[in-house]
Chain A
Amino acid sequence: MEFQSVRTVLPGDLVYVESEKDEIILGPGLMQNEESIICTKAGVLKRKENSWFIDSDQKRYIPATGENVVGRIIGKIGEVYRVDIGSAHQALLPFLAFDNATKKNRPNLNIGDLLYARISLANRDIDPEIDCKNPSTNKADVVYGELKKGFILKCSLRYCRRLFSLETKIIEILDKKLAQKNIETHIAIGLNGRIWFYTEKIKHAVVFYNVLKRAETMSDDEFLEIVKNLDLDG
């Protein structure tokens, strides 16, 4: 079932919830105050069955467990890497939080390296922790780990969420176009407002960057039109 938009809200607005069930789940932007539910962010109030949340536009990332992020290593302290994921506090990545890593055999990352990881611990009072393991099987999912070469694009969190959840067809359209031209690309979407991508030629990277950046305010049809006229030869 899709998320259903209810209305636009401002901080302080009261939300009246009619639910068949006794229990409702409040997501980001909603807060219980005694008997009532109040909004704490401006955005679109959305619901899916008995879960409610506010889809707001934000640029600063606030970590939440299980989300995928693109990070950059900024230091090594003791047995952990310190990783910048765009949140208020730097995330910690233990040396052994990789698949098949042992004390003797572990990936050696350096300051400035990029990686794709999953938030394993998010608590407002402690620094966030990330790992590069697949949670269910504990085996490497191809996606987690170091991102070699490539570029990083910073954008709003909502845009990243839209791309990640495939709510828009932007990635699909771009993928088709690139496949036509036999251009190899890799992309990793972090929910922390960072998108990593790699293309072999710098020219393609520039095009990719600009197209993705401008697509934020476009509808799928407008985007299709832009992509049609893209010049990727040469």
Chain B
Amino acid sequence: MSSNRVDKRKFTEIRPISIEQNYVNKDGSALFKFGDSAVLCSINGPTEVKVRDEKLDKATIDVSFKPWIGSPGTNEKTHELVLRSTLESIIQTNLHPRTLIQVVCQVLMDDGSILATAINATTMALINAGISMRDIVVAVSCVICKDGTILIDPKVQEIEENQSFHTFAFNKVSLNLLFCESFGVFTEQQYFDCYELSKTAAQEVINEIHNTIKNNIANGR
């Protein structure tokens, strides 16, 4: 399949993934890269919580999302909200009542699909921190071109040129949809096509994560 994408990838191909754990000296951290897009996520916790945020029956999850350039705006606030609600569905917060799990995502390089990269980075950091989770979550983005073709894991240039942009997050075990976000104009059929393609790409991300974890454990980290 020949392709006219900027980096000559196939339409349904994700960019090369690179994962590095124990990146900073925290309870857990990971650097996740989709090609040039890179997000560093660090986790602190379960740790002491302010009385104001304390929940008697479960852990409080606090997410901060720091952009590549400038200070956090409304976009980053939305990402924080998305990350927090997604994480609350997979972390076993009931195991650590009256504590805080602090998640900090720092974008190191923005080359498109940044929310998906951040979700994957957070997953890797949570695994590194040893926080109990029912499942893990992986995310993939895609765009629909003006001619109707679907591009998986788009770069910035591809997002700007196209009609609609979607981000899907799946869990690992059953590949069920945990979260989705869409911008732009698209038909119902196109949406479901995107969903199916993202699901296949998500499986690739899961395989990559699995290999990384296996290697890290084998090498004693």
Contacts and interface: CB of A to CB of B under 8 A. Distances in A.
B217 interface: yes
A11 B129 contact: no
Interface string A41-84: 11110000000000011111010000000000000000000000
Given A43-B217, A59-B28, A10 B209 contact: yes
A11 B49 CA distance: 25
A88 B128 contact: no
A205 B209 CA distance: 40
Interface string A1-24: 000000010111110000000000
Interface in A199-227: 216-217
Given A43-B217, A60-B27, A125-B97, A10 B129 contact: no
B77 interface: no
A58 B129 contact: yes
Given A88-B45, A88-B48, A12 B27 contact: no
B133 A11 contact: yes
A98 B152 CA distance: 64
A12 B128 CA distance: 15
A42 B27 CA distance: 15
Contacts of B133: 11-12, 40-41
A13 B127 CA distance: 13
A33 B97 CA distance: 20
A60 B173 CA distance: 27
B193 to A, nearest CB: 27
A126 to B, nearest CB: 10
Given A10-B210, A12-B136, A57 B128 contact: yes
27 contacts: A10-B213, A11-B172, A12-B133, A12-B134, A12-B135, A12-B136, A12-B173, A31-B132, A38-B134, A41-B127, A41-B131, A42-B127, A42-B130, A42-B217, A43-B130, A57-B217, A59-B129, A88-B46, A88-B49, A88-B98, A88-B100, A124-B95, A124-B96, A125-B97, A216-B220, A217-B220, A217-B221
A11 B28 CA distance: 15
A177 interface: no
B146 interface: no
B47 interface: yes
Interface in A69-122: 88-89
Contacts of A8: 213-214, 217-218
